[in-house]
Structure 1
Amino acid sequence: MGTAPGRSGSAAGSSASTRRSARTEDVRRLPETAAVLTVRRAVRDWLAQFGSRVAEPPAVAVALSGGADSLALTAAAVVEAGAVDALVVDHRLQPRSAAVAAEAAARALALGCRSARVLAVEVGRYGGVEAAARRARYAALDAAREGLPVLLGHTLDDQAETVLLGLARGSGGRSIHGMAPFTEPWGRPLLGVRRAVTGQLCAELGLAPHEDPHNAAPEFTRVRLRTEVLPLLEEILGGGVAPALARTAEQLREDAVVLDALAAELLHSASDGQALSTETLATAPAALRKRAIRAWLLAGGAKALTNKHLQAVDELVTAWRGQGGVAVGGGTSGSRLVAGREHGRLTLRLCDDGHRTDDTY
């Protein structure tokens, strides 16, 4: 495949950008081992399904941490895509993080990427270091991608961990959908590839992945799932747990597409443009009614919706006893966004902080 012209731009925090002056076919060749072919096929299939949404031949950005998963993804993407721009986020949370990021960028160019950029970010503390780093990382990637989809190195094992985390939250099927292969602009070609395969690919290419100390830190819930819970489940249940969890997530996402479409029809039927008919909602199955209410609340500006929010608003329809409105997050300084029931209609409006609500979450 041919290459596309170089790209330029800036990202959140400081950034450094380097580009190859030329890319040879030798750089793009990879050994045809089982691991290499597995990762290449995963990237090729993703591009076949979603690549038509970008340039032809498709150009992509890859979020490169220097770990085995993102290195394997980068190597395969260089061969399969029209052009690849590597984006390396330096969270600046560890000593030598700048050197690690610079080394990852250099490897990206050696593998054949069109360009490699280091994005230095400031990580806050709200919600914990793990969540704050994730917010900073995604914001930087989004700012630097210049219209390209960003491929992420999440594997089948990451998917299994995500499903377990969602299961623990207990907020319904949506919480255990796992990660989707493509939620614009984020692409995840490796959701069907095991972590061991990406490690094997790196070994076969002579790449020594960076081992992030945070990936072994027991204070992080995901690390304990990876190192303690999943191995124990594999031992107790005789193996195959991670693929089974990933399959469950995929099946639930397929079901959700149908349910969301039916819920959109219900929402259209119940809406008068501003409010929703409680009579129309009350006659619908709970799975559709709650989906319709959730979509309506989000469209109206609700933030950080929880299952408690949704249950309380649903009770305005199904268990009406004259209760006050439900604060659903969102709003402005001095006011709250409140869902209420008036004359057989669900309403959503900004109310001052003195407005009575029976259920505030």
Structure 2
Amino acid sequence: MAALAPPVAAIRVAVRRALTGLPGDGPVLVACSGGADSLALAAATAFVAPRLGHAAGLVTVDHGLQDGSAERAEAVAAWAREAGFAPIVVARVEVAGRPGGPEAAAREARYQALTEVARQHEAVAVLTGHTRDDQAETVLLALARGAGPRGLAGMPARRDLSGVPLLRPLLEIGREQTRAACVVLGLQPWQDPHNTDPSYARSRVRADVLPALVRALGPGVLDNLARTARLVAADNAALDELAETALAAARHPEGGLGVPELVDLPPSVRGRVLHTWARELGALPGALSHRHVAALDALVTDWHGQGPADLPGGVRVLRRAGRLSPVASG
């Protein structure tokens, strides 16, 4: 018997680790664009999932942003039928009119579609093909934006997608491994032109910045960036746990947050408390930035009678009688 090619073996092992221990016996759904990363993931899932008691399903999202996108989605679905996936869903989404730039709008539409399909089919998890290289790009983009620890933590290997686990099994698998796996398996990946479009920041990082770093610092820089994300994510988890406890302690019986309970918190914990509370009040998550949280923090630590802090979404917060309270805008 021929030995299993190392890239194929590595991806199967990563998928098995991600799927082991999932509760229930529903299907797992692979989000597949037809690119090398998601094709390699899908092929591995088709092998691994049934051996763990789960059907392997596939979802391909047609964003309608390129000529021929519908045909591309149908081609992915046709491959999935031949490969034995079930269920197979082609999800068509509307990107125009959503908030944020085109990348953010497409991402929101895509995850909304994945959530809806997962619920319809009672899936126990949705898998995406983000790799170590994607994680390295994410960390670099976060550094450039000054995003802080949450941004530097990159993409989590697992997060909740409106009640459905979203799994990223390939965050320690390199893009060169997914391409090699496709070659070994005889798969023909689609090359998304958006991935090389210089109008997108991620494309410029992929084409110019990461190769320059590899040339200057060696190939280990990709693993190091991904490792940085894992380490920061672990620190974030600990700080988030402290912030959850601190937020509960700071809640005032008459509403709002008590200033005395906030003022002596470490800044990293207090910032998380204020960020979480701002979202509870209805501040728009995508627009809530460091400067908004800093304005709330100033009401606690630099109080000199200033007026309310304005948060995105028409939320206003003022300090009175020793506590922070939301007030009606206008």
TM-score (normalised: structure 1): 0.83
Q: Quote the offset at 1:239 in angstroms.
A: 2.7
Question: Matches of 2:261 and 2:101 in 1, distance apart?
Answer: 42
Q: Is the 8 A contact 2:157 2:169 kept in 1?
A: yes
Q: For 2:4, what is the secondary structure of its paired residue? A: coil
Question: Matches of 1:269 and 1:121 in 2, distance apart?
Answer: 42
Q: Is the 8 A contact 2:33 2:76 kept in 1?
A: yes
Question: Matches of 1:85 and 1:104 in 2, distance apart?
Answer: 12
Alignment partner, residue 142 of structure 1: 115
Alignment partner, residue 275 of structure 2: 294
Q: Are 1:230 and 2:203 counterparts?
A: no
Aligned length: 314
Q: Is the 8 A contact 1:282 1:318 kept in 2?
A: yes
Question: Matches of 1:119 and 1:269 in 2, distance apart?
Answer: 44
* Structure 1 residues 305 and 128, CA gap change in structure 2 (3 angstroms): closer
Match of 1:305 among 273, 288, 293: 288
Q: For 1:145, what is the secondary structure of its paired residue? A: helix
Question: Matches of 1:224 and 1:352 in 2, distance apart?
Answer: 41
Output the amino acid matched with 1:326: A
Match of 1:193 among 173, 193, 199: 173
Alignment partner, residue 207 of structure 1: 187
Match of 2:324 among 346, 349, 354: 346
**Which structure 2 segments of 5+ residues have no match?**
none
Q: Quote the offset at 1:230 in angstroms.
A: 0.6
Match of 1:76 among 29, 36, 44: 44
Q: Quote the offset at 1:123 in angstroms.
A: 2.1
Q: For 2:135, what is the secondary structure of its paired residue? A: helix
Question: Matches of 2:3 and 2:197 in 1, distance apart?
Answer: 34
Q: For 1:52, what is the secondary structure of its paired residue? A: coil
Output the amino acid matched with 1:348: P
1:146-157 equivalences in 2 (<5 Å): 146=119, 147-148=122-123, 149-157=125-133
Question: Matches of 2:38 and 2:77 in 1, distance apart?
Answer: 12
Q: Quote the offset at 1:103 in angstroms.
A: 1.0
Output the amino acid matched with 2:141: L
Alignment partner, residue 47 of structure 1: 19
Q: Is the 8 A contact 1:171 1:306 kept in 2?
A: no
Q: Are 1:319 and 2:302 counterparts?
A: yes
Question: Matches of 2:210 and 2:95 in 1, distance apart?
Answer: 29
RMSD of Structure 2 on Structure 1 (CA): 1.6
Percent identity (aligned):
44
Alignment partner, residue 167 of structure 1: 143
Q: Quote the offset at 1:129 in angstroms.
A: 2.5
Q: Is the 8 A contact 1:91 1:121 kept in 2?
A: yes
1:12-161 equivalences in 2 (<5 Å): 32-48=4-20, 51-53=21-23, 55-56=24-25, 59-81=27-49, 82-124=54-96, 126-146=99-119, 147-148=122-123, 149-161=125-137
Question: Matches of 2:214 and 2:61 in 1, distance apart?
Answer: 33
Q: Is the 8 A contact 2:316 2:329 kept in 1?
A: no
Q: Quote the offset at 1:130 in angstroms.
A: 2.2
Q: Quote the offset at 1:110 in angstroms.
A: 2.2
Q: Is the 8 A contact 1:106 1:116 kept in 2?
A: no
Question: Matches of 1:239 and 1:316 in 2, distance apart?
Answer: 46
Q: Which structure: greater helix fraction?
A: 2
TM-score (normalised: structure 2): 0.91
Q: Quote the offset at 1:223 in angstroms.
A: 0.4
Question: Matches of 1:250 and 1:219 in 2, distance apart?
Answer: 29
Match of 1:178 among 148, 154, 161: 154
**Which structure 1 segments of 5+ residues have no match?**
1-29, 331-335, 354-361
Q: Is the 8 A contact 2:252 2:323 kept in 1?
A: no
Q: Is the 8 A contact 1:260 1:291 kept in 2?
A: yes
Question: Matches of 2:103 and 2:317 in 1, distance apart?
Answer: 32
Q: Is the 8 A contact 1:109 1:115 kept in 2?
A: no
1:240-285 CA-partner distances (Å, limit 9, x unpaired): 1111111111111111111111111111222124121112211111
Q: Are 1:278 and 2:259 counterparts?
A: yes
